[in-house]
Every structure is written in structure tokens, then in C-alpha cells.
Structure 1
């Protein structure tokens, strides 16, 4: 039973990070910030333990890839990785939900009847709605930045999109792109309380 749970967890994680494989515009990304947080005091980071994406108690190839992508984004903003005493904890999560789309579209059809006056068959149009139901899987990935001293969330970014199939190389690229899209909403650099970009 434990082995089944581990395998199910691995499969879910691998599928979940394939955000927006079926959507050309990329994931829908949102973010939120604690307006009272002093971002000028944050210069270092480490990963929260245990990470939300490692709820089974061990790292996977996918969780490792997400961690590497998040670390690269933090370091690109001047933050230093410091496992001993970080200013910020970085927590990562990803999960899936089954969704249903119901689409109704009007369409025209024709009835035919014989007109004795016109002495021929006449077509009469009529409108009706055609309804189609689509099942799909939606993946959500989020990055949380937590003030380590106060154990308080100060920023979160979330990417939501449809899950699709991909090769390992495509999966790795999608992970990097999804994490980069989330961090585009993070407006601060290490040691600066002034937003560098609009969130």
C-alpha cells in the first residue's frame, strides 16, 4: 500500500508540473504580497523543510527540478543561499484538479416541407444550442516566500494551467518556464525594499 502511494505521488507530481501544455499563452499567474513586510532586510534564502511538494518525505526528480529553477530565480535577484540562517524560506507546491468545461454554441438546422402553393419543397431554418462537455486536468504551482524570523508568509506567486503530455526535455523546459513566469511577479531584489518591477 505504501509503495502504491509513493508511485501515485510520483505520477501526480510529474503530471502536475506540465502546466499549460495545451495552451499557447502560458499559465495564468497571480501574486500577493504582505504590504507590511520590509523586503530590504531580506538577503538570503533556503528551502522550507519539509517542502510541500515533498510531502511523501523524499525528493523526486521533478521536485529537484522545481527547486533548481526557484534557486536560480532567487540567485538572479541577488539572494544568497544560506541553509544555516536564511532570511527567507522558499516553499514550493504543485497539485492537480479534475475540471469540466461546458460549452454551448448556437447552430442552425433546417426542416423541409412541401408547399402546395409553391409546388416544391421549402426549407425553413431553426436555431438550437449544441452543448459539449470537456474533461481536463488543471495544474497549479505556487511559490511561497516566508519570513524565517517571524515564520510569516510575505509573498506568494501562483501559476495555473492545463496539464498535458510532454517528453522529459519538454517537461524540464516547462518547469523552468512556469517558475520563471511566477518570479516575473516578484518585484524585489536582495536588500532592496523598492519594487524593481510592477507586480
Structure 2
């Protein structure tokens, strides 16, 4: 029972991550320079996906999987569970963060001067400290050469997670996956890159 509650909590947090990036995520990628992408023509999902570490799929993990499959197939890769050239593994996690910023500011106090017989403005300086707590989410897409059992490409999206509208969750997942694959320059069997 406890595992089920934890699993649901993790998936809820994942939904918040993928469905509610408050801003455009930062995306990074890297490729193995020794990999020959021209020989890859098919793919399948790694089993079990890191995203599905509790042994079952969820609505969110299925949506991410569908978005990744659409991106791979749009690049000419054929889905082949029996004999793929590439495995695709997916992972996501959330991390609570705190941002502390300190900024100097000046203010004025007014004092009555008996000599001048009026009020005088006197500046004073102080530091204003702002503390902001937020949740940062990360979505990872790993592409692995099946025969070499080696990572050949990795794409990562990192963004601040905010409140979300469940009706737009699917669109936001698709947008995050598309942002990651915008960094994937390869096409199936393409030797020109």
C-alpha cells in the first residue's frame, strides 16, 4: 500500500513537471562523436523505462512515450521491438530548490533639525534579501546503441515547474519532448550529418 501511495505521488509530481513548465525549459544535448548515426534505422523503448521504475505505465508515461515515438518516426526511424538498432530510455525527476538573492537598496529617513528648523532627509543603505522556493523538473531522453550497449545521444530539458491546467497537460508534454528533439539533428540512415 505504501509503495502505491509513493508511486502515485511520484507520478503526480511528474505530471506537474511535464505539464506545467512555468517558462520555456533549458534544453541541452550531447552526442557520442564515435557513433555512426547513418547505420541506425529502427528503435524500441528500453524495458523497463527509468520513468516507469515501479513496474507499470501511467497516463503521463504513455503520453511521453507517444511523443517520443512520434519524434523518432518523424525522423524516419521505424519502431521495431524485435530487433531495434536503438533503445530509447526516458527518465524524469523533480527537485525542490531555494533561490536567495540579496540586493542593496537605499532609503531615506526624515529627521527634524533644530538648527535648520526643518526636516532633513538622511539616506541609509541596507540589503534586501528575497527567498524564493520553487520546484525544478528534469526530463531525460537517452538514445542507446543496442549492439554496442552504449549511450550515443542524450537530450535533457530542465525547467521550473508551476501550476498547471490538466486540459493542457498533453500539449505541454509534447512541447517539452519537441524542444528536446529539436537538438537531435539525425535522420534514419542519413550519412550527411
**TM-score, normalised with respect to structure 1:** 0.92
Number of the residue aligned with 1:103: 101
Cα shift at 1:38: 0.4
Cα shift at 1:165: 1.8
Describe the superposition over 1:83-142 as per-residue Cα deviations: whole angstroms up to 9, x where unpaired.
100000011111000001112222221122222332111011122110010100000001
Runs of 4+ in 1 over 4 A off after TM superposition: none
1:67 aligns with 2:65: yes
1:81 aligns with 2:79: yes
Alpha-carbon separation, structure 2, partners of 1:50 and 1:159: 21
Alpha-carbon separation, structure 1, partners of 2:7 and 2:102: 40
1:143 aligns with 2:141: yes
Bigger shift: residues 105-114 or 65-74: 105-114
Contact 2:108–2:121 under 8 Å retained in 1: yes
Secondary structure of the residue that 2:110 maps to in structure 1? strand
Number of the residue aligned with 1:4: 5
RMSD of equivalent CA atoms: 1.2
| Paired positions, count | 192
Contact 2:91–2:140 under 8 Å retained in 1: yes
Alpha-carbon separation, structure 1, partners of 2:120 and 2:14: 59
Secondary structure of the residue that 1:17 maps to in structure 2? helix
Can you give the 5+ residue segments of structure 2 that lack an aligned partner in the other structure?
none
Can you give the 5+ residue segments of structure 1 that lack an aligned partner in the other structure?
none
Number of the residue aligned with 2:161: 163
Secondary structure of the residue that 2:81 maps to in structure 1? coil
Number of the residue aligned with 1:56: 54
Contact 1:140–1:161 under 8 Å retained in 2: yes
Alpha-carbon separation, structure 2, partners of 1:180 and 1:52: 20
Cα shift at 1:194: 2.8
Cα shift at 1:19: 5.0
Secondary structure of the residue that 2:89 maps to in structure 1? strand
**TM-score, normalised with respect to structure 2:** 0.95
